[in-house]
Amino acid sequence: MPALPVDLTIGELARRSAVATSALRFYESRGLIASERTAGGQRRYARPTLRRVAFIQAAQRVGLSLDEIATALHTLPDRRTPTKADWALLSRSWRALLRSRIDELETLQTRLTSCIGCGCLSLKTCGLLNAGDRAAERGSGARYLLGDMPEDG
Amino acid sequence: MPALPVDLTIGELARRSAVATSALRFYESRGLIASERTAGGQRRYARPTLRRVAFIQAAQRVGLSLDEIATALHTLPDRRTPTKADWALLSRSWRALLRSRIDELETLQTRLTSCIGCGCLSLKTCGLLNAGDRAAERGSGARYLLGDMPEDG
DNA sequence: CTAGAACTTCAAGTGCACTTTAAGTCAACT
DNA sequence: AGTTGACTTAAAGTGCACTTGAAGTTCTAG
């Protein structure tokens, strides 16, 4: 039993990251992670790959597509620990993304709350439900939910 | 020009809801909205359909699948304005969903923030990046990002 | 009445993120 | 050496939410 195996098989990486081997191969095909091969052709992942996979998972939770994550990962070094500067750059853009997504949901929550209270189910005045009758003859549309401010009605 | 046409063509509904006609037909095929037909077989939507479509959009923003939205819509009346009680029931479950999603993102945000500050890019200690090395020989896994609490390391 | 926009259906296609399948090879243990 | 589990590839399949295409019909303005 080697005390600290330098590289991981795809199965080990899968177990430790809780990501299916098929997903790991898919990530590799998309350039999100990289491996070396044994003489027999099997993948061996360097240990930092574990961190890369964790990064991918985190980024997905933040709401990024695999393409966006790939772009982000390409700004990080391949097989070394990222520097504080590498990370700060990425994490700041994530913060902004998270902030806007949270804000969006908070707005939705607020409108939902006020709708529960007021029972305003009218198409003309309910800020939550009234999301699109822009061209109506009375000009009632407001589209609060989609981020617009009311301009009429 | 009729002053207040009772029913909407699919094109009018599309323009006013900013949802493509193909999407509206798709919604109808999935039972999310309903129409009546002209003698010639064209769809005509009752005005409350506008509200239903707005509801669908809102629910998608909250994070529901079309199937879940269909279920929710089936608890609402088909062609009349929903009652305050109808709505309160639905909106409360939305509130809970939104709350948990917001909480999840806030947690992510907090961890991201502390990571920016500490620069802790170590696989052993970084709560944000260290999301899975559970089986490692040093027992370093914590999986903060995925919602677990650290039990070791 | 006629042109053309808007509509109809059904089937197939799209993009994302994977998973599954099939047929075969490699690695580790006994 | 043999068995078993883990691995390999390429291609096809899945689920969601639609979109696109083809071929034909209806509606409306002039």
| B129 lies in the same domain as B100 | yes
Which structure tokens are listed for A144? 């609060």
Whether any strand C atom is under 7 angstroms from the Cβ of A66: the reply reads: yes
Question: Is A135 in Cβ contact with B91 (below 8 Å)?
Answer: no
| B15 lies in the same domain as B75 | yes
Is pLDDT at A101 greater than 70 in this prediction?
yes
Is pLDDT at B141 greater than 90 in this prediction?
no
Which structure tokens are listed for A84? 């504080």
Whether any strand D atom is under 7 angstroms from the Cβ of B113: the reply reads: no
The residue written with tokens 């961190």 in the block is A51
How high is the pLDDT of residue B119? Answer: 54
- Count of structural domains, chain B: 2
| B74 lies in the same domain as B103 | no
Yes or no: say if B103 and B93 are a contact pair by the CB < 8 Å rule: no
| B112 lies in the same domain as B135 | yes
| B121 lies in the same domain as B65 | no
CA distance B42 to chain A (A): 21
| B140 lies in the same domain as B100 | yes
Q: What is the DSSP letter of B126?
A: -
| B78 lies in the same domain as B100 | no
pTM for the model stands at 0.77
| B69 lies in the same domain as B104 | no
Domain that holds residue A14: 1-82
Bigger pLDDT: A38 or A149? Answer: A38
Query: How far is residue A63 from each of residues A97, A102, A106, B83, B115, measured CA to CA in Å?
Result: 8, 11, 16, 35, 19
| A3 lies in the same domain as A58 | yes
Give the tens place of pLDDT for each residue, A18-59: 999 999 999 999 999 999 999 999 999 999 899 889 989 988
Q: Is A70 helix (H, G, I), strand (E, B) or coil?
A: helix
Confidence of residue B112 (pLDDT cuts 50, 70, 90): confident
Tell which B residues from 79 to 108 touch A, by Cβ distance under 8 Å.
Answer: 81-82, 84, 87-88, 91-92, 94-95, 98-99, 101-102, 104-106, 108
Distance of alpha carbon A40 from alpha carbon A148, whole angstroms: 59
Residue B64 within a domain: yes
Give the tens place of pLDDT for each residue, B35-91: 999 999 999 999 989 988 998 998 898 889 999 999 888 876 654 556 677 777 777
Residue A90 within a domain: no
CA distance A97 to chain B (A): 10
